[in-house]
Structure 1
Amino acid sequence: MVYSICWIAISRKDPDKVLRNGERDKKRKYLDACLSQRRHFTPFVVSADGLLGAEAEALAKRISALLAAKWERPYSVVRGYVNARLSLAILRARHLCMRGSRVPAGTMSYRRSLWDADGALALFR
């Protein structure tokens, strides 16, 4: 699967309409290339203040359902965890876009958190 993030600056337009236009633009730009490689494409469109597009919301629900089944936890608990992680990731990305990185690229850690039941939900509580 290929996911694409699009930042939308919302002005005086309806936020839902702006997000739908962003999703449509992303699909028009990337869908054919993904389908030619036999890949699924989901545009992950987020506004500057954290509103998720319809397909991004559906993706979050799908990830939550799969993780809830894998971890054998209630869907509501896992969905809260996924929402919190997405909110933090969006906030960090927006901050980096606006301010830039203050850490030299050579000293950055490329360690990523693991999506396992024992480590992830224990930190969320």
Structure 2
Amino acid sequence: MVTSRHVLKRSIELASEKGASNWLSVLPLQEYNFSLHKTAFHDAVALRYGWDPARLPQHCACGTKFTVEHSFTCPKGGFPSIRHNEIRDLTASLLTEVCHEVDVEPHLQPITGEQFTLASSNIEDGARLDISANGFWGGRCEKTYIDVKVFNPHAPSNRTTSASAIYRRHELCKKRSYEARIREVEQSSFTPLIFSATGGMANEATMFYKRLASLLSDKWDSNYAAVMGWIRCCLSFSLLRSAIRCLRGSRSSKGSFGHSLGSAPIDLIQVESRLPLIKQ
């Protein structure tokens, strides 16, 4: 049986992950998209500590009893997909600054008799990943494929497992599905980006965004720590807003949106919003 004490302990552990609290460490400047309205802020604090937000509906549009856990996974309205897509679009927007031929949802080449060691390898025609980009890990023409996953750490299947083990499990699952095919057929590299809905990220995602911050800081002639802090803050707000949308959004219809990086210099954003310098 899961008690309120266990939920609070779990929530504090998740809130302690690097990047999970960035939305609390900056000034809430609306011009940089670092602000939340009153209800959203109250919901964010409640989610942070595992409390039930106030004035939630009794039943979901799908007919099921409405709970925080159910809201994160209910497909009605497409909110879990929107949560995934916002991280995808943000990452793709950042990659266009430093990479060539950035593509969203690229299709993989069809399999024509190739054999893979792992039976779990994806061999479906029409398979596609979230992003592809040239020149990220290697040379200008070396392509990298990226796939994003955001999971709910409070789901029953995850409650008794450490966050690090969940991250590793999802990373391995993605690699077993796609890595061999991308390496042997596409002649490219593969990077899974695994996030917790509470704001944390897996090891490979951490290394990916460190590399991205390094490339961006060189291009923009900006401080690496400031760029890394800004990226973490953008990811934190993206995941947080998506979680709140799952709670408060109308599930009667689906919607879509893109992501804009804005035009302010990163050093100005760092100074005005008091982004903390990230020590690596």
Same fold (TM over 0.5): yes
User: CA separation in 2, counterparts of 1:72 and 1:62?
Assistant: 15
State how far apart, in whole Å, the 1-side matches of 2:189 and 2:265 are.
Answer: 27
The higher-RCO structure (CA 8 Å, 6+ apart) is 2
- Residue equivalent to 1:14: 162
| 1:119 aligned onto 2:268 | no
Q: Whose radius of gyration is greater, 1 or 2?
A: 2
Report the Cα distance in structure 2 between the residues aligned to 1:31 and 1:99, rounded to whole angstroms: 35
| Aligned residues: CA RMSD | 2.7
| Amino acid of the structure 1 residue aligned with 2:169 | N
> Structure 1 7/109 Cα, relative in aligned 2: closer, same or farther at 3 Å?
closer
TM, length-normalised to structure 2? 0.38
Runs (4+) off by over 3 Å: 92-96, 98-106, 122-125
Structure 1: give runs of 5+ residues left out of the alignment. none
Is residue 228 of structure 2 the alignment partner of residue 79 of structure 1? yes
Q: Distance in 1 between matches of 2:187 and 2:248?
A: 35
Asked if 1:27 corresponds to 2:170, the answer is no
Deviation at 1:49, TM superposition (A): 1.6
Partner of 2:191: 42
Cα distance in structure 2, aligned partners of 1:120 and 1:86 = 18
Percent of aligned positions that are identical:
25
SS at match of 2:264: helix
Q: More helix by proportion, 1 or 2?
A: 1
Note closer, same or farther for the CA distance 1:39–1:90 as it changes in structure 2 (3 Å cut): farther
